[in-house]
Amino acid sequence: MELTPGRFLTTWLTSVACALAAVGAYNAFMDPYALMGMHRISGVNARKPAIDTQQDLIKAYDVLRVAPRTLILGSSQVELGMDARYLAALAHNEPGYNLGVARGGIYEAYRYLQHAAARSDVKLIVLGIEYRDFLEDPGPRRTAFESRLTVRADGQPNTYASVQHAKDLLWGLFSWDAISDSVWTQAQNIARDSSDFSPGLWDYGDFHPGGRWVGNRPFFIGFDHMFARGYSHIRVDPVYMGYMADILTFTRRLGARIVVVLNPTHTDELEMLHLTGQWPAFEQWKRDLVSLVARYSEAGEPVELWDFCDYNRYTSEAMPAEGGRMQWFLNPVHYSPALGYLMLNRLFGQGDPTFGALLTPQTLESHLAAIRAQHAHYQEHNSIDEQRVLSAYYLARERPQAN
Amino acid sequence: MPLNSIGFLFVFLPLCAVLFWHLPRPARVSWAPGFLLAASVCFYAVNSLASLLILLPSVILDYGIARLILRAHPARQGLRHSLLIAGVALNILFLGYFKFGAVVLATVNQTLGTSFNAAPAIVPLGISFLVLQKIAFLADVRSGQVKDLSFLEYLVFAFFFPRAIAGPIIHYQEIAPQIRRPVERDPREHLMVGICLICIGVFKKSFVADSLDKYVSPVFSTPSSSELFDLYPTLITSWISLLCYAMQLYFDFSGYSDMAIGTARLFGIRLPMNFNSPFKATSIVEYWSRWHITLTRFLTAYTYTPVVLFLTRRRMKKGAPVLQGKKSKASAILTIVAVPTFITMILSGLWHGVGWQFICWGLLHGFYLTVNQAWKMLRPRFWPDKASYERVMKPVGLVVTFFAVILALVFFRAPSVTSALSIYAGLVGANGVFPETVQLYHAAGVDTPWIVMNSKTLIGAVWWLVVLLPAVMLLPNSLALLSRYQPVLEGELWEGGLVASRLAAIVVAVLGVLGVMTLNQGTGFLYGQF
């Protein structure tokens, strides 16, 4: 039946209103980004698989709700591997929050620290860093996350944050991404097999698409290939040591304790640092860090610097056969929570004493010499793994670089 | 504040439409052009005030030239012609400076070791489209198609905001009568058609075209990296990416055109059709009569036809053979078909952008069109039975045309000729069949099912193509669906058209809501960059 234009417009307007109301109500109830503070009902909306893609959005607001006294900062390495609740319990300084974000670097850690500290009484910070965080970044700078932070980089209040919050709420209620993530949230809560987040840990249920079927091996090969390409033409950028200093200065001002951790990386990456000629720069990076930390320790509260990034029984975990899963690593750069617990224990005087070393100007050179010796020993006794890394290195060098 | 922004769709446009239709009724006739000009100035001011300030003098200058042409005595054809040439030249220089200035200066500085710094700081909003529109205007004044001129209506014609970003390219005589005629008392049909087109347009642009970008950019960008698409294109990644780009470009630009036409219709103004299901074309000539129609008609009227006429007259003067249907000689086809076609398409390529890749795209289309035109002329000689020819060749032509168009799109999208050649290498499998990561695993001795490694991206891209390719080849387009309500000025549309039913209202509402829900993932319109 043909409607008059007036009737058509009324029907259209009613339909638009109904559709928006339905979408908004469903998204508000499923709350895939935990923006609305909806109650998390087991089997319905408790798991939040959207953490895989929306970490900046989720964590920027979630950390303010938790108001942590213990904070973990860094990239996806600490986000996947370190349990902040466990750390907070060890340190008797609860609540804890893991504010590591995927692809986050030193600058992001500094900004998130400013953000969290503006609303919380932060007393303990564990900052996980890697050599990669200090290299030149050829890609565009991440800036979008900053609009949500409570303070600007200069420490002044971010007046735009409330506007951004309103935009995020609207987006969380009415966007296509939100409805897709709501449906995904519901499906994954029924299946009870997905990524999830808690203040302590990012439980990455689907760390690599298909990872559960194919095991770790393909991802080691992929990362090895990426290292071989990436490390060939890249240098340390001093700007990141500047951000590191900013973090230490800020922490001193807070009166908080900070522990800097050099995250463990699988020997595949360490071997690739040798092959690509990065090793001297890698050692110099550690020297610069020790020197920086020593300067701050002399001037006030001691800053601890722990190095887990060497050759040891965990980082040289053997590659399983195709389809097999590893105990300590997901891929060469991401360690498992099991290794994360060992690290946290070590920081608090428990656990394996051969794992990790406290770096000081006095111990540094002997520590570096020991790692060189470990490297030689590793090459002697791990010819199969060494061969695999070499193959990836030569394969990457043979292949074209770009369009 | 582009057409696909929250600010435009929910603040600027409703405000303008409500004000327009609620102006005091006795005064509305005289108010309409002034109101539309004020709204357009606001649109430019919000988007880019600098663009308005740069464009305004050239628009006024063209008005002055047009006035001089109109005032010149009809007997003084030389003067009228000289004024036209001067106007066209000024417009081309104006466009050339903003579009090519930076590249030319960089080349000069590089070649001569100089350091001239006179490149334009910005490229004014929609300058490419406006310049063509102004050239057409001057030509229409010169040819007598525009006989009387109102400054206010002319300014609305130049700055009318629905078409400001990327056309459609309109003629003065198409829009002026609509601006000056009394505004109807009941706007509801205009609003209905306008809202339908805007909803469909925003759905096409935001929901479809913007969603496809993640399958396109990684392969065409340098350097590239993603789950599926690695550093260099392989057979599977190249084809998926290219097909997705064809769909992205069509849905982006036709979505924009729907929104532009719909926006104009909210003010009771009909714009010309810009798209008419181009992927249903069974020949490349037909394709160009369906794709970016207002550009095609400009190029045909103001470039191709004048060159054809000039060359035909010259050959006739020399006594050389001209086109004679199926008896046409090769020399005549080369001169009267190939030369104008190549000139036109190279100009079209240059208009789209600076770079050899656009010239290659123009050359490729020039070649396609020449072959198609020549075959149309000579076909009766080789295949006299038209009915059997069409029965066999229509489906073949559909497929051939589609692939010819998308293969040329490689040059259109690639950032350079080198990059385009790399994509072509991928299309023929020179970089292997499977995505690079899969090849890497195979080379490293890992026999991993590649579909597992790339499932999310791959399934997403294939899903879109499975839905969109049949849709663009089989379904009626938005303007055809609304043909009962005369959505555009003219054009051959589906005779049936849908009636304004309750179901239609609900479907349009859902499309609009889906489009609005995906506004956040989009950037500007692809043709906005031209």
Q: Give kind and range of the element (H or E) at residue B334.
A: none
DSSP alpha helix (H) spans, A120-160: none
**Tens of each residue's pLDDT in chain B, 530 residues:** 788 888 999 999 999 999 998 877 665 557 788 999 999 999 999 988 999 999 999 999 999 999 999 998 778 888 999 999 999 999 999 999 988 888 888 888 888 888 777 777 788 889 999 999 999 999 999 998 998 899 999 999 999 999 998 889 999 999 999 988 766 778 899 999 999 999 999 999 999 999 999 888 888 875 444 443 455 788 888 999 999 999 999 999 999 999 999 999 999 999 999 999 999 999 999 999 999 999 999 999 999 999 999 999 999 998 888 888 888 888 889 999 999 999 999 999 999 988 899 999 999 999 999 999 999 999 888 888 888 988 988 999 999 999 999 999 999 999 889 889 989 988 998 877 877 667 666 666 666 555 555 566 778 899 999 999 999 999 999 999 999 898 998 766 666 788 889 999 999 999 999 999 998 765 777 777 76
Distance from CA of A44 to the nearest CA of B (A): 24
Mutate to test the interface with B, among A8, A52, A182, A384 (most CBs of B within 10 A): A8
Q: Tell me if chain A has a CB within 8 Å of the CB of B86.
A: no
pLDDT in the model for residue B229: 42
Compute the Cα dihedral for B301, B307, B313, B319 and give only its sign.
negative
Report B:180-199 residues touching A (Cβ under 8 A). 188-189, 191-192, 195
Distance from CA of A270 to the nearest CA of B (A): 19
Closest among A281, A231, A264 to A392, alpha carbons compared: A231
Q: Report whether pLDDT(A30) > 50.
A: yes
B265 chain-A contacts, CB cut-off 8 A: none
Question: How confident is the model over B258-301, as pLDDT tens digits?
Answer: 999 999 999 999 999 999 999 999 999 999 999 999 999 999 99
Chain B nearest-CA residue for A172: B517
> Does B501 contact A5 at a Cβ distance shorter than 8 Å?
no
Please provide the size of chain A in residues. Answer: 403
Determine the Cα–Cα distance for residues B448 and B437; give it in Å rounded to an integer.
Answer: 11
Strands A124-129 and A96-98 come out as unpaired
pLDDT in the model for residue B449: 55
Determine the Cα–Cα distance for residues B353 and B256; give it in Å rounded to an integer.
Answer: 19
Specify whether the CB–CB gap between A260 and A129 falls below 8 A: yes
Specify whether the CB–CB gap between B290 and B229 falls below 8 A: no
Helix/strand number for chain A, H first, E second = 15, 8
Question: How confident is the model over B441-482, as pLDDT tens digits?
Answer: 666 666 655 555 556 677 889 999 999 999 999 999 999 999
Distance from CA of A315 to the nearest CA of B (A): 22
Closest CB to B446 among A175, A209, A218: A218
Q: Tell me if chain A has a CB within 8 Å of the CB of B117.
A: no
Of chain A, the percentage scoring pLDDT greater than 90 comes to 66
For A14, what's the count of Cα atoms within 13 Å in the CB-facing half-sphere? 11
Strands A257-262 and A304-307 come out as parallel
Chain A nearest-CA residue for B437: A222
Angle, helices B417-427 vs B210-220, to 10°: value is: 100
Cα B89 → chain centroid:
23
Of chain B, the percentage scoring pLDDT greater than 70 comes to 91
In this prediction, residue A201 has a pLDDT band, given cuts at 50, 70 and 90, of confident
Chain A nearest-CA residue for B6: A167
Question: How confident is the model over B51-86, as pLDDT tens digits?
Answer: 999 999 999 999 999 999 999 877 888 899 999 999
> Does B500 contact A209 at a Cβ distance shorter than 8 Å?
no
> Does A19 contact B513 at a Cβ distance shorter than 8 Å?
yes
A135: which strand partners?
A236
Task: Find the mean pLDDT for residues A188-208.
Answer: 75
pLDDT in the model for residue A211: 59
Distance from CA of B507 to the nearest CA of A (A): 9
Report B:456-515 residues touching A (Cβ under 8 A). 456, 499-502, 504-506, 508-510, 512-514
CA terminus-to-terminus distance, chain B: 17
pLDDT in the model for residue B228: 39
Question: How confident is the model over A233-282, as pLDDT tens digits?
Answer: 788 999 999 999 999 999 999 999 999 999 999 999 999 999 999 999 99
Chain B nearest-CA residue for A8: B505
Structure tokens at A142: 């991440």
Specify whether the CB–CB gap between B438 and B450 falls below 8 A: yes
Please report the number of interchain residue pairs, chain A to chain B, with beta-carbon separation below 8 angstroms.
128
Determine the Cα–Cα distance for residues B407 and A332; give it in Å rounded to an integer.
Answer: 41
Distance from CA of A388 to the nearest CA of B (A): 8
> Does B502 contact A1 at a Cβ distance shorter than 8 Å?
yes
Residue B282: phi, psi to the nearest 5?
-105, 5
Report B:204-223 residues touching A (Cβ under 8 A). 207, 220-223
Specify whether the CB–CB gap between A82 and A61 falls below 8 A: no
Q: Report whether pLDDT(A199) > 70.
A: yes
Tracing tokens 């399934």 back to the chain, one arrives at: B459
Distance from CA of B188 to the nearest CA of A (A): 6
Mutate to test the interface with A, among B448, B510, B519 (most CBs of A within 10 A): B448
> Does A218 contact B514 at a Cβ distance shorter than 8 Å?
no
Question: How confident is the model over A75-84, as pLDDT tens digits?
Answer: 999 999 999 9
Question: How confident is the model over A120-159, as pLDDT tens digits?
Answer: 999 999 999 999 999 987 565 677 889 999 999 898 999 9
Q: When comparing pLDDT for A172 and B499, which is higher? A: A172
Tally Cβ neighbours within 10 Å of residue B75. Answer: 8
- On average, the pLDDT of chain A sits at 89
> Does B192 contact A400 at a Cβ distance shorter than 8 Å?
no
Task: Find the mean pLDDT for residues A55-70.
Answer: 93
> Does A322 contact B446 at a Cβ distance shorter than 8 Å?
yes
> Does B514 contact A12 at a Cβ distance shorter than 8 Å?
no
Q: Give kind and range of the element (H or E) at residue B529.
A: none
B440 chain-A contacts, CB cut-off 8 A: 221-222, 225, 395, 399
Determine the Cα–Cα distance for residues B140 and B442; give it in Å rounded to an integer.
Answer: 64
pLDDT in the model for residue A299: 78
pLDDT in the model for residue A366: 96
